[in-house]
Structure 1
């Protein structure tokens, strides 16, 4: 640490911030229940996670994972097909694990939030009404009962690290809970539809592709306002919504 020449702000907004100092990530969260969930989820997860170096609320210190992120939303991924398949296999291992003790969001909560976000997107002129209506209709397929599994809950492509063809770890577990397996798969492949086949090859079981597509629309509809209000670029998610037919 003494040789560190600069501090990198990885992400920062009103709720949380993550700083990188050398090979250490410092996560600062105003809501310690999220950090509690993250620490417990990492302890339970049967796949590689960052090493916890220390915790002094509101700060959680984690060791950096080896390798690089599987990809980035809005950019082509240079990772191999084998790496994407390995990510799918890791997700399957997680989904086969015992459930965490805390519940996830209910179907009614998700549907209610979705309706509110669709209304906001239209009333604020973020997207044309027909784009929102089309995606709301596609999203309906995700709003069905599911058998809960241990889900990561925010399995963005940037949260999966690989070295060559191997997964070295998964980060950011604060949204982990009981949830829909297909939500994790959809989040991982959001904006990388061409990689879905590789992920499912590693996942090793048939899934309903219409539900995957529904979660692509639903997640993008739900997150656009949050991104805008917290100073992030929503264009990758908006591009996903515009591409739906």
Structure 2
């Protein structure tokens, strides 16, 4: 299976690309850890610091669109400086964005309350389809640009996708058979809680404190929109709930969900679902960061009594 690491991007290539977009010199380029399917770089220049993400073209289009729509809604996503899909400079498509000032918050930073407030606006943005966004590179910049859409036709398809991978996870010794059966039975019992919205809305898709930046006491940005998703707002809380109750309480205080008790139960199911997705992404991309996700699946099932 081909991954982005079959087409390595060097710091020298990145420096050339950034100079072409911002002009002047580049002081330093440093590769940073990220998802195994991306190659990410922090670039320092006299014009400020930038982040370059090299990845598949569909992902570049989807992430750049999600950041732009979020910013229009008042959500402090990164400012996109350039999108390049032609691979003339780098061997992979990439997007270049300004680095958000400040740094990641800890789990109890008050900026998380403000994130909850901003999510309310984000979750008003309708998106076609359901699930992870994918963008059409051919439509970008055309006379009638086509917005990215979710990859699935229904929310039930989003839920079914990782459940259909359970046998493969067992075969790969990622999950044991008993745990896989617990997952199946728990989701079967709770089907009525997972109907999802009639229309998908824009979700960050991978929200946690490391992706929340603050400068002092103030929220300065929400980074890493590579998992932007069309779906159920409670799925956002399910992902975030892996951080722990104290941090989740701050987020929900800012968001003020209409039915907090129902959201809290449903989001545990979604926490398990997101963890199953994460296992699949790692396995298919050739990564091995699965132990934490497996532990989260087991813990979530314990909470649900499954």
**One fold, TM greater than 0.5?**
yes
The match for 2:113 among 62, 85, 95 is 85
> Do 2:207 and 2:239's aligned partners in 1 also have CA atoms closer than 8 Å?
yes
Question: SS state of the match for residue 153, structure 1?
Answer: coil
Query: Does 1:26 find its partner at 2:74?
Result: no
Displacement over 3 Å in runs of 4+? 97-103, 135-143
Q: Which residue of 2 aligns with 1:74?
A: none
Q: Which residue of 1 aligns with 2:66?
A: 41
What CA deviation, in whole Å up to 9, does each residue of 1:139-194 have, x standing for no partner?
Answer: 45453132432222333443222234432112233443431111112112224244
Q: Equivalent residues in 2 for 1:1-245 (5 A)?
A: 2-4=26-28, 6-11=29-34, 13=36, 15-22=37-44, 23-30=49-56, 32-45=57-70, 46=73, 47-57=75-85, 58-70=93-105, 77=107, 79-80=108-109, 82-97=110-125, 99=127, 102-104=148-150, 105=152, 106-140=154-188, 141=190, 143-147=194-198, 148-205=200-257, 206-207=259-260, 208=262, 209-229=264-284, 230-244=286-300, 245=302
Number of residue pairs the alignment of both structures matches: 235
Root-mean-square deviation (Å) = 2.5
Q: Tell me the distance in 1 between the aligned counterparts of 2:250 and 2:187.
A: 23
Q: Report the TM-score, using the length of structure 2 for normalisation.
A: 0.68
Question: SS state of the match for residue 11, structure 1?
Answer: coil
How far does residue 201 in structure 1 lie from its aligned partner after superposition?
0.8
Question: SS state of the match for residue 101, structure 2?
Answer: coil
> Do 2:63 and 2:226's aligned partners in 1 also have CA atoms closer than 8 Å?
yes
Q: Report the TM-score, using the length of structure 1 for normalisation.
A: 0.83
How far does residue 88 in structure 1 lie from its aligned partner after superposition?
1.5
**Structure 1 spans left out of the alignment, 5+ residues:** 72-76
What CA deviation, in whole Å up to 9, does each residue of 1:203-229 have, x standing for no partner?
Answer: 112342111000011111222132244
Q: Tell me the distance in 2 between the aligned counterparts of 1:162 and 1:135.
A: 37
Higher relative contact order, structure no. (Cα contacts within 8 Å, ≥ 6 residues apart): 1
How far does residue 195 in structure 1 lie from its aligned partner after superposition?
2.1
